[in-house]
Amino acid sequence: MIHLRKLKNKAQVPVILLVFLILLTSFCKKKETASPQLNISSSEIAFLPEGGTANVTVTSNAKWNTKNPADSWLQLDQVTGNEGDTKLKFTVSANATGVSRSAVLVIASDNGQARRLTLSQASNLFPSYNTSPKAPDQTGMNSTAVQLASKLHLGWNIGNTMESPGGESGWGNPQITESYIKFVKQTGFNAVRIPCAWDWKHLSDRQKATIDPAWLNRVKEVVKYCVDNDMYVLLNIHWDGGWLENNINSIKKDSVNAKQKALWEQIATSMRDFDEHLMFASANEPAADNADQVAILNGYHQTFINAVRSTGGRNSYRVLVVQGPGTDPDKTNNLMNTLPTDQVAGRLMVEVHNYTPSQFTILDNDATWGKMFYYWGTGHHSTIQPDRNATWGEESEHIRIFGLMKSKFIDKGIPVILGEYGAYKRGGTKNVPLDLAAHNASVDYWNNYVTRQAIQFGLKPFFWDTGNALDRRNNTVLDQGTINALVTGGK
C-alpha cells in the first residue's frame, strides 16, 4: 500500500495515484473477462463385460454438476464439484444381460459450459471356456482350404440324428456306429457332414451355456470313427432350436455372439487334437435376407472364427466353413460380398445348399404357393400326369446357380461346400405319382445331374440322407437307384 504522507514531493501524488488506479482497473477487467473453462480428461469410456472402475478428471473455473444416467449398473462417487481439478470415479457392475449397454453423462458448469461423456459396456453372458489354449501346432494341418477341397470327392450327411433334440435316436434313427461309417465309405463316399445340436437339450448348465461333457465325448467319438477311417468330417452347430439362425438382428446380436463364442470354445477345445480331416462349420441355414442382416451374420461367423482360433493347437490352422445367407446361392451371390477376417490365410470355405426346385425335392403336400412336382428334367416329364411336371428349376437353373458360386468364390480361391442337396422318391399310400416309373427315374436323374454339375463347377457335394438310402441298422443299401445316381455322378 502506498502511504502518501511519506512522499517528500507532494507533486508526485497525482502521478502515482493515477498509476495505481490504472493497474487496479486492469486487474479487475482481467478478472471480469476471464474465459469460462470446463474440460474432462476423456470423452468416452468402454468398460469390460466383467465390470470395473475408471476415473475422469474434471477441470473447471466454476462450480459444476451432473446426474447419473444409469444408476442400475453405474455408480458415481460424486455429482458436484468446485473450481479446479476434480477426479470422478466410476464403478460398473458385471454385465450378464446378454446385450451391451451405454449411457451419456452430461457435466454442466455454472459458467454455461457443458461436456458429454459416453459410457459403454459389452455383455459377457457366459464365462470363457478357453481356459487352456495351446501354442499353434501345424502337425497334420498343412492343407489350405483349396488343397483340402481337392481331397473331398463325394460327401454324405448323417441327417436327423445328432441334431435331434432327443439325442441320436430322438427322430427314430439308431446310434451311429463305426461299422456304419465304414459302410458309407465302402459305398463310395469319402466325407461326412455331421449336423449337430448343442444348445438343444445338450446343456448341463443353461445359464452358463455349458455343454454336457457326455455329449461332447459322444460327438468326439463319432468324429473319431470318421477320421480313423480316413473320412473327412464337417461338424457344425445345426439349427439347434434356432437360437442363432432365427435371431440375426440387432436386438439379439450380443446374446447370440455370446453363446456362439461359449459353444465354439468348448467344441473346438474338445476336438482340438484331430488333424485336418476335421472341419468346423459356423451354422446351418442362417435366415438373413438383406445387407444389414448379412453384416450381423458375418459378425456371428467372425465370433466363430475367433473362438476356434483362440483355442490354439491344430485349431490355429483348421479349415473353417461359413454359411451364406439362408445357404441360398442367389442371396449368397448378391449379399455375401465380404467374408469375416481370419488370422490364417487361405483356410476358409463358403457353404450353400440346393434343393431346387423344392416342389420336386422336398415338398410333401401341395401348398398355396405351388403344387408338388413328380417329374423333372429333359426326357423325364410324364404324359400320364402332365400337371405334375416341373415348370421351373430344371437343368439350366442349376447351371446358373453353380456358375454364380464359381465366379463369386471358387475362381477367387475360396472353395464352396454344397452342404446339403437331394431329391427323394415318393411312395407308400400318400401322394403316389400315377407314373411311378417316370417319377423314380426323375429323382435318380436329378441326383445324378446335380452331383455331376456341382463337381464340374468346383463345388463339393454332401447328399442329405435321413436313413432312406442306406440302412443304418444292418448296413445295407435301401435305394440302389439313388446310390448309383450319386456315385456315378461323382466320377
Which positions ≥6 away from 459 have C-beta within 8 Å?
352, 402, 405, 406, 410, 416, 417, 418
Check residue 178 and report its DSSP letter: H
Residue 73 confidence (pLDDT): 84
Tell me the C-alpha distance between 454 and 490, whole Å: 9
Residues 391-442: pLDDT tens digits? 999 999 999 999 999 999 999 999 999 999 999 999 877 889 999 999 999 9
Identify residue 330 by its one-letter amino acid code.
D
- Burial (0-12, 13-18, 19+ Cβ within 10 Å), 470: buried
Tell me the C-alpha distance between 144 and 248, whole Å: 30
Identify residue 335 by its one-letter amino acid code.
L
Return the ∠ at Cα 412 (arms to 285 and 274), rounded to 5°.
60
- Burial (0-12, 13-18, 19+ Cβ within 10 Å), 202: buried
**Is 130 within 8 Å of 311 (Cβ atoms)?**
yes
Number of neighbours of residue 153 by Cβ within 10 angstroms: 15
**Is 399 within 8 Å of 354 (Cβ atoms)?**
no
* 38-121 matches 145-489 in fold: no
Show the cell assigned to 11: 507533486
Q: What is the length of the chain?
A: 491
**Is 319 within 8 Å of 279 (Cβ atoms)?**
yes
Residue 31 confidence (pLDDT): 46
DSSP string, 428-451: TTSS--SSHHHHHHHHHHHHHHHH
What does each of the 491 residues of the chain score in pLDDT, given as a tens digit? 444 444 445 455 455 544 455 555 554 444 445 688 899 998 989 887 777 899 999 998 898 899 898 888 898 998 899 988 999 899 988 786 656 788 999 999 988 889 999 988 876 679 999 999 999 999 999 999 999 999 999 999 999 999 999 899 999 999 999 999 999 999 999 999 999 999 989 999 999 999 999 999 999 999 999 999 999 999 999 999 999 999 999 999 999 999 999 999 999 999 999 999 999 999 999 999 999 999 999 999 999 999 999 999 999 999 999 999 999 999 999 999 999 999 999 999 999 999 999 999 999 999 999 999 999 999 999 999 999 999 999 999 999 999 999 999 999 999 999 999 999 999 877 889 999 999 999 999 999 999 999 999 999 999 999 999 999 999 999 999 999 999 999 99
Residue 98 confidence (pLDDT): 58
- Burial (0-12, 13-18, 19+ Cβ within 10 Å), 411: exposed
Tell me the C-alpha distance between 262 and 240, whole Å: 15
CATH for 145-489 is 3.20.20.80
**Measuring CA to CA, which residue among 275, 357, 288, 277 is closest to residue 323?**
288
Tell me the C-alpha distance between 462 and 395, whole Å: 19
Number of neighbours of residue 93 by Cβ within 10 angstroms: 14
Which CATH number among 2.60.40.10, 2.60.120.380, 1.25.40.10, 3.40.50.300 corresponds to the domain 38-121?
A: 2.60.40.10
Tell me the C-alpha distance between 87 and 78, whole Å: 9
Identify residue 212 by its one-letter amino acid code.
D
Domain range list for the chain = 38-121, 145-489
